[in-house]
Structure 1
Amino acid sequence: MNLDVFLSLFSLMLISLAVFLLSKKLKLPYTVLLVIAGSLLVPISHIEFFSFITSFDLTPELLFFVFLPILIFESAYNMNIRYVTENIYSIGLLAVVGLLISTLFIGIGGFYAFEWVGFHVPMLVLLLFGAIISSTDPVAVLALFKEYGAPQRLTLIFEGESLFNDSTGFAAFLIILEMIVEGYHGYESAALALFSFVTMLGGGIVFGLMMGFIFAKLIEAVRGNEHLEITLTLLVAHFTFILTEVISEHFVIAGQHIRLSSIIATLVASMVIGNFGRYKMSPDVEEYMEKFWGYFAFVTNSLVFILMGLLFADLAIDLNIAFLPIMLAIVTVVIGRALSVYPLMWLLNKTGKERPIPRNWMHLMAWGSLRGSLAVIMVLLIPDDLTVPGWNFKFSVKDFVAAVTIGSIYFTLLVKATTIGKVMHALGIDALTDMEKVGYHKSKAQIYDKLLLKLNDLQNEHQLTPKQYENLKQRYQSLYQIACLECKNAIGDSDTLIENMLRTYALGIEKEELKEIFQRGEIEEKTYKKITNMLSIQTERIKRGQQQVKSINEHFPIDSLERFVLMVSRLAFWRDHSFKAEELYRYYRALSKISGIVVKELIAVENSSLKAVFDDKAAMETLLTLYKALQANNQAKMQSVIHKDEELLNQLNEAEATQSLTVLQEVTLNKLHKNEIITNKLYIILRDELEQRNH
């Protein structure tokens, strides 16, 4: 029997891979084809030879304690806290207020709709369904948004809503489920439900922050040991989730059971690791993390969606009976979503708390609300024997909720997901901005320029005949010239497009050089974060058509998470977080270096074939003047630090030289080992000697 389970698991994974390849060929959403494949597996499993396919069962425990933390961490880890706080009103309104509006409408409106067609379903059951189906699925939505090129801010709002409304929806689900089990007792039950909702979300946030910072410190403590760093990120997701559930089981104050939201605790802890802990990881691990968690999320979602198809095809309720309730549920959910989007976003635009949400974005928010794995998890958590007064159907409450939930999920996947691209195009959301149009042609020109340089190398190395070289050169030279011409046409008479392109190009160079400086150990973590935040703010300003810097001495604010860290750290440890003299010197030196690299690159562009792309002498001079001024300003500040402590420069130079030599030794040793020039035994001996010498 156990062999059948394992055979089923790995067969489903193999089928998922085949479906993924098929989705690329058919250009259909991967998750849509997965649920269709899952549905087709049920009749196949009735053949004796393939009966093992359905042996692997999606248990609530497996979904809840293993799969769900992986999906939460993978999405939350890559969310930039600064972007979230900039759009916190829209995300918060949709994730909390919007979800509650949708849940109440589905419960109350659905009750009267079902009554109207003679299908008497108790309101509490429909409220339970509302809590389950109102939260959107980030995986299905974001995959489609990335494929069709939705605007970055719209994608962020959708992702933030999808993540935060998971916790809101699950909290509402648990509260309504408890009301069904314990019974509804009027005002007392409503007040208790509100208290539970607030403590679940508030307690989850506090506990998540605590766990996130604890694991960030643990990752810092084991920095350099790649296996331990990766293991700790795996633990932060599951340990936070499970520990929150354990605390919720035993946390009692004044006789009142206090529950914490395991979903929001894991979400917050994952965001802390992604925005604070990632800088404490080894450079190689930090780059590997996204691939590591992306793979786990891919496998998890593949299994969840394909098993969702199996679950739907194997429903206990007769589809002839369930068809009408499913259709009514779908209509109610669509209207509930619209009510949770349009009024709230209109109100937000009126208050002016954030940049306005365009009307066409609202349309996509209402239509693009796909449902997925969390809804299935909540359905499976409903007790099989759950009942409610007034339930007179032959099928159970769980069977009914499962039918309308999976029917609604199928609608979002088969209808909404397959039409999102067309809806975006019809609404003009996928249209390129003026800067993107210029960037498109500019990028093509840069690519063809690189190809022409490579052709010269191939000719010099005698890998091409003169005729082949001339043919290829003529082809790519023509494509390069067309791209340059199209770039100029896209720019037209605009004075700002070229300058903004150059500024974006310069900031990209700065970011790349800064990361290398950090990886070489030339600057501290807090310096790297401070400069990274500064460059991100400048990039956002350019996207919004604003001035890159207000002055060469402008002070850039740190993000909200960093402010929180400094506040807590000062209160808890009484530490001084101001820059020490040597840190301040390294900070100004790093700024000076990246500014100097930009100046060199811009001068190189002026003297290269790319001048045809950046053909605006005034814009180039403006930017060169700015970066030369920034470099000179930072060099002056470096000198002012040194004048206060003349011995400091000698100490820093010696420390930097030592650090560079240490890094070079490690790199050389690793290359010798990787290329099998030395044996594994020699590698271990030399590595241990190097570590002892450095410590």
Structure 2
Amino acid sequence: MNLEVFLSLFSLMLISLAVFLLSKKLKLPYTVLLVIVGSLLVPLSHIEFFSFISSFQLTPELLFFVFLPILIFESAYNMNIRHVTENIYSIGLLAVVGLLISVLFIGIGGSYIFEIAGFPVPILALLLFGAIISSTDPVAVLALFKEYGAPHRLTLIFEGESLFNDSTSFAAFLVALDLMTKGYHGSESAVGALISFLTMLGGGIIFGLIMGFLFAKLIEKVHGNEHLEITLTLLVAHFTFILTEVISEHLVIGGHEIRLSSIIATLIASMVIGNFGRYKMSPDVEEYMEKFWGYFAFVTNSLVFILMGLLFANLAIDLNVAIWPILLAIATVVVGRALSVYPILWLLNMTGKERPIPRNWMHLLAWGSLRGSLAIVMVLLIPDDLAIEGWTLSFSVKQFIAAVTIGSIYFTLLIKATTIGKVMHVLGIDALTEMEQVGYYKSKAQIYDKSLQKLDQLLANQQLTEEQHDSLKKRYQSLYQLACLDCKAAIGDSGSLTENMLRTYALGVEKEELKDIFLRGEIEEKIYKKISNMLSIQTERIKRGQQQVTSVDEHFPIDSLERFVLLISRIAFWRDHGVNAEELYRYYRALNKISGKVVKELNAVENSSLSEVFDDKTALQKLLALYKNIQANTGDKMLSVIQHNQELLTRLNEATASQSLTVVQAETLDKLHKNEVITNKLYIMLRHELEQKNY
């Protein structure tokens, strides 16, 4: 690399930041504006002074081995495995069956469409194009989903499909490319292609699980060393991706080359780290991880889309010649996407395997299918000299596929992405539910109530004069009363809305207290995950209008990933995963503490100004009774465990006290160092002493 390449890289990053700020003012999708600006940079780069701008180029290796693993990990790390398994039929059908339907329609149906229009294109070339263009890119559309408030389940289905169909699409691309280079030899080629496709997906899943659990174990081993933990998460994405590619190049079984999908391996490994490995990280690292990977994804997306614009503008094919094939390709892709969404989801709704997917969601899934970086990777991987029997057009196969792919991407970015907000509004997807409307006004009331309390504190601290305090208090008191009146109007005669809001509020208190207990070291990872899973299930039940709990003794199943881990552990290591007395006592004590915290908070709500917000006394008393019963029930079970293990309480109290003291000592030392009360030398010495003592 020369200096111009580095200058180009950092200049593009600086331009990307300016584009981000501009996108906020223009209210245009960030990625769309990046592609436009990237295209505009090409004529600028022809000026000698700015010629360095095009020095940093989008290569297949850069996209495939550097950028793509980052984007996969960032999305997969934050996907909840339980939510994915609850929607596995819709995600799986769209990502695999739907994508294959789209590929086949674009290949077979597209050949007839092009032939009728006077552009005879062989089926294999269009199948290759179909494999490239059928995968959806979640980057731009998910940002818009969040901005306009799309339902969580719809966002999850779209993101899950986008991640999984990347691997399906790339596997289909490799199969189609193989058929084009080696030729089609009837049923033998078809069977071989199917086996190769299934091997890539199945092998990728297995290898991804192995790598995910291996790195999760490594993270556990270096627990407490923040730099090593962060480095391991960085390695898991790229190492899994590259190692899968290396294995695919050398793995031969029975004389047949076996390929594994590096994309799906990285996806699965990242999901394992996000759902299993994150609990093995140090608390500070776990909280920092989302920001760390969010930043990397932001930089990566910025570079990919602005470089994409540069690449598009340098397209070798004459646009005057390519415009009709591009328009035909866009129309074919749109129809193919519709065929891959509506029939599949309609049949799924008929089977009742999952909660029904509304028709307006289907419309948005069909329209919001943007294309992006992976399609460019696959185009760049096509050999320049690729030839095919029956090709009669004046440009090469690669030039044709590049033109129609880039044209389709431009259409999705410039037309679809910019209209998603309007489409969501027309379809009513962004409309607030009854519970959200109540939550909106209740939240405003709570915000203004806290503001009133803060005003009193400012007056007491002489940071406001009496006159300023009275003026501001009058204003916020009025806003508070107005929010309460709006809330009552939104509730109307429905008692269930207030009760569900209270239950959601109580579960939020439980989750916060549980996290604090875990960070203090009072419970182990296994217990934390079990209770966290239980609270998530209860939250989902409330959202669906179901009963929060059936009884204080209700058993909540662990998530599917945890069941899988326990099964493998039993088979491979013959481990007994039964719960011992100490773990059982810690489990009941944690439940007792979080239910006690809720009782305290609900009593505080009843006796505070917030009683005007949560003013349904019947619902409040009903919920208080539930949590008091849970508190009493878990208290009895704690006593029962202690009665059978008399020395247990003494041992646990000592362990808890020791852990609490360790946390306090570490926090005190960090504060002294941060405030420059002690020097770095003293900080290192004292930290070393504390670590030695705790070991």
Which category describes the TM-score, using the shorter chain as reference length?
Answer: over 0.9
1:117, distance to aligned residue in structure 2 (A) = 1.3
User: C-alpha separation between the residues in 1 aligned to 2:59 and 2:342?
Assistant: 37
SS where residue 496 of structure 1 aligns? helix
Q: Which amino acid aligns with 1:310?
A: L
2:630 is the counterpart of 1:630: yes
Structure 1 unaligned spans of 5+: none
User: C-alpha separation between the residues in 1 aligned to 2:447 and 2:455?
Assistant: 12
Partner of 1:391: 391
SS where residue 357 of structure 1 aligns? coil
1:305, distance to aligned residue in structure 2 (A) = 0.6
1:236, distance to aligned residue in structure 2 (A) = 0.4
User: C-alpha separation between the residues in 2 aligned to 1:391 and 1:312?
Assistant: 24
Partner of 1:208: 208
1:393, distance to aligned residue in structure 2 (A) = 2.9
SS where residue 495 of structure 2 aligns? coil
2:347 is the counterpart of 1:347: yes
Partner of 1:178: 178
Q: Which amino acid aligns with 1:207?
A: F
SS where residue 554 of structure 2 aligns? coil
User: C-alpha separation between the residues in 1 aligned to 2:4 and 2:403?
Assistant: 28
Identity score, percent: 81
SS where residue 668 of structure 2 aligns? helix
Partner of 1:90: 90
User: C-alpha separation between the residues in 2 aligned to 1:668 and 1:363?
Assistant: 55
Q: Which moved more, 1:22-31 or 1:113-122?
A: 113-122
Partner of 1:465: 465
Partner of 1:231: 231
Q: Which whole-Å deviations, capped at 9, do the CAs of 1:369-427 have from their partners, x for residues lacking one?
A: 11111111111111111111122333221111111111101101111011111111101
Q: Which amino acid aligns with 2:25?
A: K
Superposed counterparts of 1:66-81, under 5 Å: 66-81=66-81
Q: Which amino acid aligns with 2:93?
A: L
Partner of 2:164: 164
SS where residue 482 of structure 1 aligns? helix
Partner of 2:426: 426
1:13, distance to aligned residue in structure 2 (A) = 0.5
Q: Which whole-Å deviations, capped at 9, do the CAs of 1:608-629 have from their partners, x for residues lacking one?
A: 1110100000000000000000
1:686, distance to aligned residue in structure 2 (A) = 1.1
User: C-alpha separation between the residues in 2 aligned to 1:158 and 1:583?
Assistant: 39
Q: Which amino acid aligns with 1:94?
A: L
Q: Which amino acid aligns with 1:323?
A: I
Q: Which whole-Å deviations, capped at 9, do the CAs of 1:522-559 have from their partners, x for residues lacking one?
A: 00000000000000000000000000000000000001
Partner of 1:507: 507
Partner of 1:567: 567
User: C-alpha separation between the residues in 2 aligned to 1:673 and 1:360?
Assistant: 56
2:588 is the counterpart of 1:588: yes
Q: Which moved more, 1:215-224 or 1:660-669?
A: 660-669
1:122, distance to aligned residue in structure 2 (A) = 1.3
Q: Which amino acid aligns with 2:188?
A: E
2:382 is the counterpart of 1:382: yes
User: C-alpha separation between the residues in 2 aligned to 1:289 and 1:51?
Assistant: 38
Superposed counterparts of 1:79-228, under 5 Å: 79-228=79-228
Partner of 1:14: 14
User: C-alpha separation between the residues in 2 aligned to 1:301 and 1:387?
Assistant: 33
User: C-alpha separation between the residues in 2 aligned to 1:554 and 1:124?
Assistant: 57
User: C-alpha separation between the residues in 1 aligned to 2:8 and 2:323?
Assistant: 30
2:313 is the counterpart of 1:316: no
User: C-alpha separation between the residues in 2 aligned to 1:540 and 1:203?
Assistant: 33
User: C-alpha separation between the residues in 1 aligned to 2:343 and 2:208?
Assistant: 31
1:139, distance to aligned residue in structure 2 (A) = 1.1
Q: Which whole-Å deviations, capped at 9, do the CAs of 1:223-275 have from their partners, x for residues lacking one?
A: 10000000000100000000000110011111011100000000000000000
Partner of 2:244: 244
Q: Which moved more, 1:161-170 or 1:667-676?
A: 667-676
User: C-alpha separation between the residues in 2 aligned to 1:573 and 1:640?
Assistant: 32
1:689, distance to aligned residue in structure 2 (A) = 1.2
Partner of 2:408: 408
Q: Which amino acid aligns with 1:282?
A: S
Partner of 1:263: 263
1:277, distance to aligned residue in structure 2 (A) = 0.3
TM-score by length of 2: 0.99
SS where residue 517 of structure 1 aligns? helix
User: C-alpha separation between the residues in 2 aligned to 1:85 and 1:179?
Assistant: 34
SS where residue 269 of structure 1 aligns? helix
1:649, distance to aligned residue in structure 2 (A) = 0.4
Q: Which amino acid aligns with 1:238?
A: H
1:674, distance to aligned residue in structure 2 (A) = 1.1
1:23, distance to aligned residue in structure 2 (A) = 0.5
1:5, distance to aligned residue in structure 2 (A) = 0.5
User: C-alpha separation between the residues in 2 aligned to 1:291 and 1:92?
Assistant: 29
Partner of 2:254: 254
Q: Which whole-Å deviations, capped at 9, do the CAs of 1:202-226 have from their partners, x for residues lacking one?
A: 0000000000000000000001000
Q: Which amino acid aligns with 1:521?
A: G
Q: Which amino acid aligns with 1:281?
A: M
1:502, distance to aligned residue in structure 2 (A) = 0.2
1:120, distance to aligned residue in structure 2 (A) = 1.6
User: C-alpha separation between the residues in 1 aligned to 2:68 and 2:378?
Assistant: 11
Q: Which whole-Å deviations, capped at 9, do the CAs of 1:76-99 have from their partners, x for residues lacking one?
A: 000000000000110011000000
1:655, distance to aligned residue in structure 2 (A) = 0.8
User: C-alpha separation between the residues in 2 aligned to 1:175 and 1:615?
Assistant: 63
2:36 is the counterpart of 1:36: yes
Partner of 1:497: 497
Q: Which moved more, 1:385-394 or 1:92-101?
A: 385-394
Superposed counterparts of 1:678-689, under 5 Å: 678-689=678-689
Q: Which amino acid aligns with 1:141?
A: V
TM-score by length of 1: 0.99
SS where residue 546 of structure 1 aligns? coil
1:606, distance to aligned residue in structure 2 (A) = 0.6
1:49, distance to aligned residue in structure 2 (A) = 0.5
Partner of 1:358: 358
Partner of 2:277: 277
Partner of 2:437: 437
SS where residue 663 of structure 1 aligns? helix
User: C-alpha separation between the residues in 1 aligned to 2:395 and 2:557?
Assistant: 59
User: C-alpha separation between the residues in 2 aligned to 1:170 and 1:314?
Assistant: 25
User: C-alpha separation between the residues in 2 aligned to 1:636 and 1:341?
Assistant: 53
Q: Which amino acid aligns with 1:42?
A: V
1:8, distance to aligned residue in structure 2 (A) = 0.5
Q: Which amino acid aligns with 1:25?
A: K
SS where residue 647 of structure 2 aligns? helix
Superposed counterparts of 1:293-304, under 5 Å: 293-304=293-304
Partner of 1:675: 675
User: C-alpha separation between the residues in 1 aligned to 2:453 and 2:692?
Assistant: 46
SS where residue 556 of structure 1 aligns? coil
User: C-alpha separation between the residues in 1 aligned to 2:543 and 2:373?
Assistant: 35
SS where residue 369 of structure 2 aligns? coil
User: C-alpha separation between the residues in 1 aligned to 2:692 and 2:288?
Assistant: 27
Partner of 2:62: 62
The total of aligned residue pairs comes to 695
1:338, distance to aligned residue in structure 2 (A) = 0.3
Q: Which whole-Å deviations, capped at 9, do the CAs of 1:125-148 have from their partners, x for residues lacking one?
A: 111010000010011121110011
Q: Which whole-Å deviations, capped at 9, do the CAs of 1:334-354 have from their partners, x for residues lacking one?
A: 000000000001100110100
Q: Which whole-Å deviations, capped at 9, do the CAs of 1:619-651 have from their partners, x for residues lacking one?
A: 000000000000000011101110011111001
Deviant stretches of 4+, over 4 Å: none
Q: Which amino acid aligns with 1:392?
A: T
Structure 2 unaligned spans of 5+: none
1:109, distance to aligned residue in structure 2 (A) = 1.1
Q: Which amino acid aligns with 1:80?
A: N
User: C-alpha separation between the residues in 2 aligned to 1:672 and 1:362?
Assistant: 56
- Over the residues paired in the alignment, what is the CA RMSD in angstroms? 0.7
Q: Which amino acid aligns with 1:75?
A: S
